[in-house]
Amino acid sequence: MTNSDRILIKLDTTDSTNNYAMQLVNDDKAHHGLTITARSQYGGKGQRGRKWADTPNKSLLMSIVLTPRLPISAQFVFSASVATAVANILQNLLRDKTVRVKWPNDIIVNDKKAGGILIENALRGNMWTHSIVGLGLNVLQSQFPQELPYATSLKIATGEDLDIDDIRDEVRSALLALSGRPVSIPAIMEAYNAILYKRGEQQLFGKGEETWQATVIQAHDDGTLEVRTEDNRVAFYTHGDVRWIYE
């Protein structure tokens, strides 16, 4: 680890740690490993243009700037390696609880969503220069509003008040370690599919108003999710086209 890897900017509040990091990247002031955390965000961003709301001081909100060593065509593989690393840290920490990754990269603890990952890429021409990996993890919340029946926190799952900064440091080291390792796309996909949420089980999917059941088979390195439909056809879903509905 170099000195620049260690730079950690701790904010009280910001619109979005991803935006803050992206601004530094655009200003040429960011480097591999630079990490931004905040105790709360007033414009937290989720996947697919959704908002990410937090309870101040109760969530891990972090963005880490990484320089992926993969072609831009391997964006999903990069995202899968990040989600797997985060989930494995939580699995070690939560011992007997079940931690899974719901395609593409929701962090599921005991069948509910405890966190999510938003990766935003900085490109120069067609070169993938940086990725901003944003992680939001519910740590200390004791409850969630009724309109979020599928949300959970590490506290709800374990009954314990875990230390947000300790988790941040573990996640950070694991993500920095990813870039130091030789990249094996099959190994990354195998590790991801090993903890894929509801693998082998029927799930509800949707597109527009239409919903249907299909069995989750596996994710592929192009980011598609392979499923078997009720009439026994194999289909490949693309995130953003088909959505996976929480039940």
Ligand X SMILES: O=C(O)CCCC[C@@H]1SC[C@@H]2NC(=O)N[C@@H]21
- Only segment of 59-67, 163-171, 195-203, 208-216 that touches ligand X (CB under 6 A): 59-67
**CB closer to ligand X, 118 vs 227:** 118
CB of 134 to ligand X, least distance (A): 3
**CB closer to ligand X, 35 vs 193:** 35
- Only segment of 24-32, 46-54, 156-164, 181-189 that touches ligand X (CB under 6 A): 46-54
Residue 46 near ligand X by CB under 6 A: yes
Q: Which single residue brings its beta carbon nearest to ligand X?
A: 116
CB of 226 to ligand X, least distance (A): 22
Single-letter residue type at 31: H
Residue 106 near ligand X by CB under 6 A: yes
Long-range contacts of 69-74 (CB under 8 A, 24+ apart): 69/179, 69/183, 70/128, 70/183, 71/128, 72/121, 72/123, 72/126, 72/128, 74/185, 74/221
Residue 55 near ligand X by CB under 6 A: no
**CB closer to ligand X, 90 vs 118:** 118
Question: Binding ligand X by CB under 6 A: which of 22, 30, 34, 45?
Answer: 45
Residue 104 near ligand X by CB under 6 A: no
Residue 104: asked if its preceding bond is cis (omega within 30°), the reply is yes
Report CA-CA distances (Å) from 94 to 68, 120, 134, 143, 168: 29, 28, 21, 18, 15
**CB closer to ligand X, 14 vs 203:** 14
Question: Binding ligand X by CB under 6 A: which of 85, 117, 140, 189?
Answer: 117
Residue 152 near ligand X by CB under 6 A: no
CB of 219 to ligand X, least distance (A): 16
**CB closer to ligand X, 46 vs 67:** 46
Report the site for ligand X in 9-38 (rule: CB under 6 A).
Answer: 16-18
Burial label, 247 (beta-carbon count in 10 A; 0-12, 13-18, 19+) = exposed
Task: Give CA–CA dist 136/123, Å, rounded.
Answer: 23
Distance of CA 10 to the CA centre of its chain: 20
Residue 244 near ligand X by CB under 6 A: no
Residue 92: CB atoms within 10 A of its CB come to 10
Residue 63 near ligand X by CB under 6 A: yes
Beta-carbon contacts of 97 under 8 Å, excluding residues fewer than 6 positions away, are 91, 109, 110, 157, 158
**CB closer to ligand X, 42 vs 190:** 42
Q: Which two tokens stand for residue 42?
A: 């007033």
- Where helices occur in 108-221 by DSSP H, the ranges are 154-158, 164-180, 185-194
Q: By CB under 6 A, name the binding residues for ligand X.
A: 16-18, 41, 44-47, 50, 52, 61-63, 106, 116-118, 134-136
